[in-house]
Structure 1
Amino acid sequence: MNTFRSDDRFKNVTALKRLAALIGITTGIAAGVLLALPSRAQQPERLPTVVINGKSTQTLAAMRAAGDVQTLPTVVITARRGDRGLDGEQVAAR
């Protein structure tokens, strides 16, 4: 009787399953250790309370109708873009 050697075709799959199980167990232990560490978070400091007192006034339309508001002249501002080759510090130095 002759004996033929054959390879286990699931040898690589078994090794990969063992490696995956080892990685999973190691990750679980590391997560457990990290979760077991005491928390060092501090209580947030309480900000001061701001109290705002005020009173209601007439609307702008009602004040204009009563003649209490004078309109200021309109100011038109024109601007142009600076040189593209200059950065902010060079413009500020001018």
Structure 2
Amino acid sequence: VTGHHWYWSYEFSDIPGLEFDSYMKSVDQLELGEPRLLEVDNRCVVPCDINVRFCITSGDVIHSWALPSMSIKLDAMSGILSTVSYSFPTVGVF
């Protein structure tokens, strides 16, 4: 996971070619009930009941990558790789 100004880039090391960018939705793009500043255009989808390791870095300035509902937050800094592993026990949107 790489932080950039206003978006995140995701790539999956075990699935070659699977990569995408995820931008925060603007207020006028939000559907009724979607949380402001937390909803994105492309969600990261991960399997459940499998240990998933996230490797977080930055392409520019310091960013903060988080999954608030899972109490996960990591700082993304250029030149530094921060990692966290997590096994999602259920299917859902986090």
TM norm structure 1: 0.12
Larger relative contact order (Cα-Cα within 8 Å, sequence gap ≥ 6): 2
**Larger fraction in strand:** 2
Q: Say which structure is richer in helix.
A: 1
| TM-score normalised to structure 2 length | 0.12
